[in-house]
Structure 1
């Protein structure tokens, strides 16, 4: 009987963790007016490794190679992010910056470990920022997600302030700043496109655009989605995670079919009829739009709510989460897209 009781308690704990995970994964994307400047923030800092310097800091001090942890304050809240600078990356010329936004219950460290962006930065020559959502979630509207939405956290202001701060410390190319994210993080990437003019392109994985966004910045978009995603269904079926956007962990997901949302972006960008090609489980629909913009959709047949090409962690496997598809490496696909799409002014 004792063994049966312990087993039951363990099963209940796992189910509770899984429930919290799924509740926080999707979000409603409300819109606030476009921001042209970041909310004032205190400078970010890296924990010192030696004696305090007495000489004035250089105008563009180099961040130490490798991974480093940084802090800044936005809207009176202490925020953190990680930064990866490849050891062999030259800072003699401006460099691209990729902002990688984790999903709900993730973190900057988890995203850095899981999705392969450090290795891609080493190979292709750019820096990567991994910001942390408060309580492991991003507020993308008053209805979602979790405590940050309930408390009115301004995560768009945080990301804008982080990019501005990094631009004072590294020679970031202003026309080559990109945002990518998964699920809740992908929704925040959409919001950044709707509310700022900072980014050249966004890459969204297993996310969705909810709410109005009539005048997004003139950027390019790549959206990757699995056809078997049960959290943010590709065909627009209602998500079982909705709680009406109320309570201590508000959640609301009602974005409709992914293809319809991409069509909205193509209409705004005045794109022609897209060209489609299929290779195995992967179908790419590419629209080459005026002004050098592209709005592309990649669907992965049979893939669930995950980052294709990532490695599934032991915890994700124990919780029964969707294993990443091996039909596509999302990180490589997104960087290849970013690399050919500088900002259109």
Structure 2
């Protein structure tokens, strides 16, 4: 049993992913595919799944549409972390329930072999094969037609997914705001597009350290053929960088227990916020605990000091595209 556990950890941490499809082969059919291989513009009420072809690869995703959705509606795209899936993100982070309350559409795309391409050095198969994840996510965002308000399209994600949200901010002009959780920016960002940002991070995150630099799961130089090199700036420096891009005022800082919130008002009604949770690790605050996975894989328990999902939605709702 111990050998199996160690093997699983090696696959997750050194390989950077767990296979759910071949590199360039067809993926397994999603559990409840909507449409005939093309993205639906009007998904049914409730949960559904779809497939689209981008860059010669079939890409899969899940969608949740609450009852009583306004027309047009906001859209939130939730990006799983490395080794995760859209289904896992849907079950773990509470966005379906939030969509019921906030009346918005939420989409959960799947990375290639559970990874996203954010930089040539990160992460896993997606980086190695230079997968067009930016093209996939932007096409997904546009696929719902007039059902979605183009001024209220948002992206959030954790870890590798949070890093992709920063790349989307740099390489597209689709999103009104992003909400990275336990992530960083390691991609080149030559022509950033001003947008609102709420970044959430724990000071005890050793996978993507709050103070910047390589994390404990960086395997560069360890003989792996799948690159997973994470060496980003400190979170406060990254936040300051985006405040400069967004032409923000001096941030206002509030402290409540272990949670410190830095809020900066910016040009054209945008905002750049940073929420720091003292002592929190690499996790989605307020998410459903997974004691077995935490014990077997050494994952950090989710912080109870903040409910990240409603906090992010409140921020998104207040910051449509200028």
> Could you say which residue in structure 2 is the equivalent of 1:322?
300
> Could you say which residue in structure 2 is the equivalent of 1:83?
63
Q: Which runs of 5+ in 1 are unaligned?
A: 1-9, 27-45, 53-59
> Could you say which residue in structure 2 is the equivalent of 1:199?
175
Contact kept, 8 Å, 1:175 with 1:342, in 2: the verdict is yes
> Could you say which residue in structure 2 is the equivalent of 1:118?
96
Contact kept, 8 Å, 1:25 with 1:183, in 2: the verdict is no
Task: Pick from 3, 7, 17 the counterpart of residue 12 of structure 1.
Answer: 3
Aligned-partner Cα distance in 2 for 1:197–1:233: 28
> Could you say which residue in structure 2 is the equivalent of 1:187?
163
SS in 2 for 1:287: strand
Aligned-partner Cα distance in 2 for 1:25–1:215: 29
- 1:1-345 to structure 2, matched below 5 A, reads 10-23=1-14, 47=33, 62-90=42-70, 93-167=71-145, 171-244=147-220, 247-313=224-290, 314-344=292-322
Shift of 1:87: 2.2
Moved over 6 A (4+): none
Structure 1 vs Structure 2 CA RMSD: 2.1
Between 1:64-73 and 1:17-26, the stretch displaced more is 17-26
Between 1:179-188 and 1:250-259, the stretch displaced more is 250-259
Between 1:108-117 and 1:259-268, the stretch displaced more is 259-268
Q: 1:70 to 1:285 in 2, by over 3 A?
A: same
Between 1:249-258 and 1:334-343, the stretch displaced more is 249-258
Q: How many residues end up aligned between the 2 structures? A: 304
Q: Which runs of 5+ in 2 are unaligned?
A: 18-31
Aligned-partner Cα distance in 2 for 1:292–1:207: 25
Between 1:13-22 and 1:192-201, the stretch displaced more is 13-22
Superposed CA offset, 1:150-194 (max 9, x none): 111110011011112222xx5100000000000000000000000
Q: 1:121 to 1:24 in 2, by over 3 A?
A: farther
SS in 2 for 1:135: coil
Q: Output the TM-score relative to the length of structure 2.
A: 0.89
> Could you say which residue in structure 1 is the equivalent of 2:24?
none
> Could you say which residue in structure 2 is the equivalent of 1:35?
none
